[in-house]
Structure 1
């Protein structure tokens, strides 16, 4: 019969306990790392956008949704870049030259469609919305659609590079006591103003409006205006009563702004 030495037995217990503790610590650290990584990248996906134009400036507006990874209104000026997007693998020189040759035609096509009031949307590559919000994303590639890319729109150009120029507006959606009808005003320069509807409680709507100044210089531009949100959200078309509703609010603020064009109006995603 072999008798276990007490010291040897305690040593083995200590080693076993130490290894078990090390395993638990490593597992916890790995779980924490994966949790942090998941939290950081939970908003990585396809973030559709509407493309509009104010005074010759292209503006991209993220298509937000309540209670999802898309729950942010994000609007920024953009332009079609002549360089391949940095997030993509480098293209051959011939492919890049071909795209450069097509750029003027693509830009003219987009501007013509937007001038006519047609809907243009973007289906971008996969990226993190947080990186866009934090100005860590400088450009991206996207397919350009005439119409809504999820509702029968037709692609008119693929793998087009868009540079992110200036962040104009961003806010997180809330469905807790936020009233509809308030528009935030953004001075775009040269007498142009972009009015952005602050999406509120459901039912709500996403709406971008182009306003212009009646004088050479904007005087006392209000930061926001308030309209009858219930009346606007009930419309099938944004043009119905919109001009008069905005007009009344602007008169109350004694602003020298007038309605120019309804650029984008969406209700279906906010019912």
Structure 2
């Protein structure tokens, strides 16, 4: 009888071991960050920056900015395209092949196949060419939170001793995603890191003017539609 009871316990333990458990690892897989993650490109001096185009919901609820590079001849082409786009106040975006955003969240340096688009890749943008980009230097990684009362918070990222990047932190709706290049003096920013530029109008030009007045430069990137109330 004792042998039968022992056998029953061993069989029960084996069955439990093979039963999927609702642990943190399985929960993480249920909230996968694998997907198509579009990004905006901007030119900052000799650096090319890629900014993840976030949304409020997973798998896109992270603001991420990386310095990117490529070893092929397309890098000079990218710089030329970005310089022209900046002069004409146009967007240049990229769409990498499907990948896990956790690579960037965890500050890895992957090389990804990307398609470069003239304008927004989801809003009529024209594909220009494909290339490989290496995400070589993480500059800013922040999960979007919507439970903070302050809606106009900014972060300053030092790019060089002469140039910085001001990032608007996306919080509760309505909000916006913006990147503004600002001059630094020996690595220090002499302006104020604040701006009363809440998204209270559907006209982007009003918001652009407010940000320009605050940071003395037109935003290099601005997105409002994805962060409006509706």
TM-score range, shorter chain: 0.7 to 0.9
Q: Name the residue aligned to 2:210.
A: 241
Residue deviations 1:57-96, cap 9 Å, x none? 11100111113221111111111x22xxxxxxxxxxxxxx
Tell me how large the CA RMSD over aligned residues is. Answer: 2.7
State how far apart, in whole Å, the 2-side matches of 1:224 and 1:26 are: 58
Q: Name the residue aligned to 1:267.
A: 224
Residue deviations 1:131-155, cap 9 Å, x none? 2121224321111111111111111
State how far apart, in whole Å, the 2-side matches of 1:109 and 1:220 are: 30
Q: Name the residue aligned to 2:56.
A: 66
State how far apart, in whole Å, the 2-side matches of 1:114 and 1:135 are: 28
Q: Name the residue aligned to 2:47.
A: 57
C-alpha spacing 1:137/1:128, structure 2 compared with 1 (3 Å): farther
- Work out whether residues 196 and 210 of structure 2, in 8 Å CA contact, stay in contact via their aligned partners in 1: no
State how far apart, in whole Å, the 1-side matches of 2:22 and 2:210 are: 54
Note the 1:96-111 alignment, pairs <5 A. 100=72, 104-111=76-83
Q: Unpaired runs of 5+ in structure 1?
A: 1-6, 83-99, 248-258
SS of 1:269's partner is: helix
Residue 163 of structure 2 corresponds to residue 192 of structure 1: yes
Q: Name the residue aligned to 1:145.
A: 117
Residue 12 of structure 2 corresponds to residue 20 of structure 1: yes
State how far apart, in whole Å, the 2-side matches of 1:124 and 1:48 are: 7
Q: Name the residue aligned to 1:166.
A: 137
SS of 1:170's partner is: strand
Between structure 1 and structure 2, the one with the greater Rg is: 1
Q: TM-score, normalised by structure 2?
A: 0.84
Residue deviations 1:169-198, cap 9 Å, x none? 121111112422222222222522211111
C-alpha spacing 1:62/1:106, structure 2 compared with 1 (3 Å): closer
C-alpha spacing 1:58/1:163, structure 2 compared with 1 (3 Å): same
Q: Name the residue aligned to 1:227.
A: 195
Q: Unpaired runs of 5+ in structure 2?
A: none
C-alpha spacing 1:67/1:21, structure 2 compared with 1 (3 Å): same
Aligned length: 226
State how far apart, in whole Å, the 2-side matches of 1:181 and 1:234 are: 17
- Work out whether residues 151 and 175 of structure 2, in 8 Å CA contact, stay in contact via their aligned partners in 1: yes
Q: TM-score, normalised by structure 1?
A: 0.73
- Work out whether residues 114 and 120 of structure 1, in 8 Å CA contact, stay in contact via their aligned partners in 2: no
Residue 105 of structure 2 corresponds to residue 133 of structure 1: yes
Further displaced range: 142-151 or 103-112: 103-112
